[in-house]
């Protein structure tokens, strides 16, 4: 085999894909090879550093199991997840040109490493926060499309950590699902449920990603937020958060997921009659937010 100079290696790898039958796969892999080789050349990576990088990725994989996805955490903390979300939402916006007077669609953000499929489907107004640390909070609003039409029977998947910042996945193998549920909007697109006012929390930092953050001089914290995922036939799927406006770290989210349009004031209330008629013996909060979905092209 002819000897290759360092500057020719990337193109040589790409040329070996001449018989690839998948155009998009070839495009992605070609770009990956070009940028990876350019990175190695730019920083003049040493063999010892490359071995360290391989060990880091190996350790990242070993931290993954059915409840923990360390690679998602790595992607999130490097800002890659939010970049992918932003590009995808821009594509969807380009397909659906808003007409004059239409509402802007709700902005998306990262899925995060704590999504757990199969949450129980409950009736509107149900309380998923009872018995868990945290101040009770009543969530309500509507789901419409950009033209203001109510989206009925929309599935609203919600989940969050508790008032101490812990998700059910972090509480041991016997904890089971907590502070998670799926709701369906009524015929007017309304939704409502009780949970807790989310607290800020650190992303898991006991693994390789945590060590990376500390070496970078970064904190691992996320501001308090309620995860939401909305799905309805004929509409683009939406994965987003509702951020607590006065939460610590709202300006320095470890995964770069905060968007101004998703920051919500959680109104505080003294004990008494709640908006849904429930009598509250303790202080509570309310969170009102309307979601806007994009019709599929």
Residues 56 and 86 grouped into a single domain: no
Give helix then strand counts, H and E, for the chain: 6, 14
Residue 74 in domain: no
Question: Which single residue is written with the structure tokens 């003294």?
Answer: 270
How far apart are the C-alpha atoms of 287 and 285, rounded to whole Å?
7
Q: What is the DSSP letter of 121?
A: B
pLDDT tens over the chain, length 297 residues: 455 566 689 999 999 999 999 999 999 999 999 999 999 999 999 999 999 999 999 999 999 988 889 999 999 999 999 999 999 988 877 777 777 888 899 999 999 889 999 999 999 999 999 999 999 999 999 999 999 999 999 999 999 999 998 999 888 888 889 999 999 999 999 999 999 999 999 999 999 999 999 999 999 999 999 999 999 999 999 999 999 999 999 999 999 999 999 999 999 999 999 999 999 999 999 999 999 999 887
Residues 177 and 146 grouped into a single domain: yes
User: What number of other Cβ atoms are within 10 A of residue 241's Cβ?
Assistant: 27
How far apart are the C-alpha atoms of 281 and 163, rounded to whole Å?
18
Residues 18 and 165 grouped into a single domain: no
Q: Which of 183, 195, 204 has its CA nearest to residue 226?
A: 195
Query: What pTM did the predictor assign?
Result: 0.90
Residue 72 in domain: no
C-alpha distances (whole Å) from 262 to each of 68, 73, 186 are: 26, 21, 23
Residues 15 and 109 grouped into a single domain: no
* Contact assessment for residue 294 and residue 279, using Cβ atoms and an 8 Å cutoff: no
How far apart are the C-alpha atoms of 223 and 245, rounded to whole Å?
9
* Contact assessment for residue 266 and residue 137, using Cβ atoms and an 8 Å cutoff: yes
Residues 12 and 126 grouped into a single domain: no
How far apart are the C-alpha atoms of 73 and 94, rounded to whole Å?
29
How many independent structural domains does the chain possess? 2
Residues 32 and 141 grouped into a single domain: no
What residues contact residue 237 under an 8 Å CB cut-off, 6+ apart? 229, 230, 231
Q: The domain containing residue 253 runs over which residues?
A: 79-293
Residues 262 and 153 grouped into a single domain: yes
Residues 104 and 205 grouped into a single domain: yes
Residue 69 in domain: no
Torsion of CA 218, 219, 222, 224, to 10 degrees: -150
Q: Enumerate long-range contacts of 215-219, CB under 8 Å, 24 or more apart.
A: 218/77, 218/254, 219/249, 219/252, 219/254
């Amino acid at each position: 085999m002819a000897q290759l100079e360092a500057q020719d290696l990337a193109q040589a790898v790409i040329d070996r894909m001449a018989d690839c039958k998948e155009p998009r796969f070839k495009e992605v892999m070609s770009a990956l090879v070009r940028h990876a080789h350019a990175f190695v050349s730019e920083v003049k990576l040493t063999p010892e550093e490359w071995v360290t990088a391989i060990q880091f990725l190996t350790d990242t994989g070993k931290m993954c199991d059915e409840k923990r996805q360390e690679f998602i955490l790595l992607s999130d903390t490097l800002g890659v997840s939010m970049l992918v979300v932003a590009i995808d939402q821009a594509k969807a916006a380009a397909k659906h040109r808003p007409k004059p007077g239409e509402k802007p669609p709700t902005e998306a953000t990262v899925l995060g490493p704590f999504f757990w499929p199969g949450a129980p489907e409950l009736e509107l107004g149900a309380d998923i926060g009872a018995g868990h640390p945290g101040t009770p909070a009543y969530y309500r609003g509507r789901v419409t499309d950009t033209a203001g039409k109510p989206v009925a029977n929309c599935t609203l998947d919600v989940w969050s950590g508790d008032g101490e910042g812990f998700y059910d996945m972090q509480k041991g193998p016997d904890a089971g699902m907590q502070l998670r549920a799926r709701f369906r909007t009524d015929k007017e697109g309304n939704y409502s449920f009780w949970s807790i006012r989310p607290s800020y929390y650190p992303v898991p930092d006991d693994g390789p990603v945590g060590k990376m953050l500390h070496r970078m001089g970064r904190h691992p914290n996320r501001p308090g937020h309620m995860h939401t995922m909305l799905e309805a036939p004929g509409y683009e799927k939406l994965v987003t958060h509702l951020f607590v406006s006065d939460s610590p770290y709202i300006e320095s989210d470890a995964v770069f997921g905060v968007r101004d349009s998703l920051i919500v004031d959680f109104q505080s209330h003294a004990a008494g009659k709640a908006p849904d008629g429930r009598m509250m013996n303790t202080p509570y909060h309310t969170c009102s937010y309307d979601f806007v979905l994009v019709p599929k092209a």
